[in-house]
Amino acid sequence: MIAALLLLSFATAGNVTTPEQDFEQGVSLRENARAARESFARAARGFDRAWGESPSPGLAVARGRSHFLAGNLPQSLAALHAGLALAPYDAELQADLRAVRGTIRYPEPADPNLRVRPDEWGGLRSRVSPWDAYFVGITFGIVAVVGSIFFFTTRPRWSGVVAIVGWVGVVASAALAWKIGNTEVRPVAIVTTDTVLRRGNGTSFQPRTPEPLPRGTELWEVGSRGGWLQVELPGGAIGWVPEQTVLK
């Protein structure tokens, strides 16, 4: 009995694959979408577990790609947003978000307020990391130290200017880091199935947009009431969608 159990455990252990292996298998089965999606779904589950234990930008990229290739577009977008919340300056995550968004057919309403297509990922926070600011601060610090030492010793003409530039640079870098660290990130809700944006929290209310919001639309959460979520479109219009149709 024990031997049988051991054999079973060994056999089971032999079948365990890493998320990386599942992903590679999915790539190798690419010509058969159904089989490939199953492998990518297994990989996505594995990367989700790893993310739960220790999140990192690299894992966010892997999660986003696995979920997308498994056919789970909303979960892919959610994973990429989670990664960008962690590392908004990560170029890989930004490029992946752009690529995934490129597969969505956003409606193009005439009213700019009703724009559904999201803005390009941008802003100071998406370009400079706090560590970048810190290293710039260190560079300015070295300049400030050199200028100050000369200023307090042989005092050549340039020393005062260099010292001032250095110290001002350090202060500016610190201010930049503070600004990056204190930028508010609005929570994103992702539409999981084509859904109608309504003017109120009920199906009796008129639609807010001429066309339903496509699966994968990114919305900003404003509030909630009675199982409905109040959301803001990238264009600025505000409406309501059922909570069960979005992934938060």
Interface with another protein (CB under 8 A): 20, 23-24, 26-27, 29-37, 54-59, 61-62, 64-65, 68-69, 86-87, 92, 95-96, 99-100, 102-103, 129-131, 133-134, 137-138, 141, 144-145, 148-149, 152-155, 157, 170, 174, 177, 181
Minimum gap (Å) between residue 226 Cβ and another protein: 38
Shortest distance, position 219 Cβ to another protein, whole Å: 23
Nearer to another protein, 64 or 212 (CB): 64
CA distance 120 to 122: 6
CA angle 103, 55, 138 (to 5 degrees): 105
Q: What number of other Cβ atoms are within 10 A of residue 30's Cβ? A: 12
Cβ proximity to another protein: between 78 and 196 the closer is 78
Nearest Cα to Cα of residue 94 among 77, 71, 69:
77
Measured from the CB atom, is 36 or 189 closer to another protein? 36
Query: How near is the Cβ of 153 to another protein at its closest, in Å?
Result: 5
In whole angstroms, how far apart are CA 69 and each of 62, 72, 83, 97, 200?
11, 7, 18, 14, 35
Instruction: Please report how close the Cβ of residue 234 comes to another protein at its closest, in angstroms.
Output: 21
Nearer to another protein among residue 134 and residue 205 (C-beta): 134
Quick one: 190 or 233, whose CB is closer to another protein? 190
88, 125 contact by CB (below 8 A): yes
Dihedral angle at the C-alpha atoms of 196, 197, 200, 206, nearest 10 degrees? -60
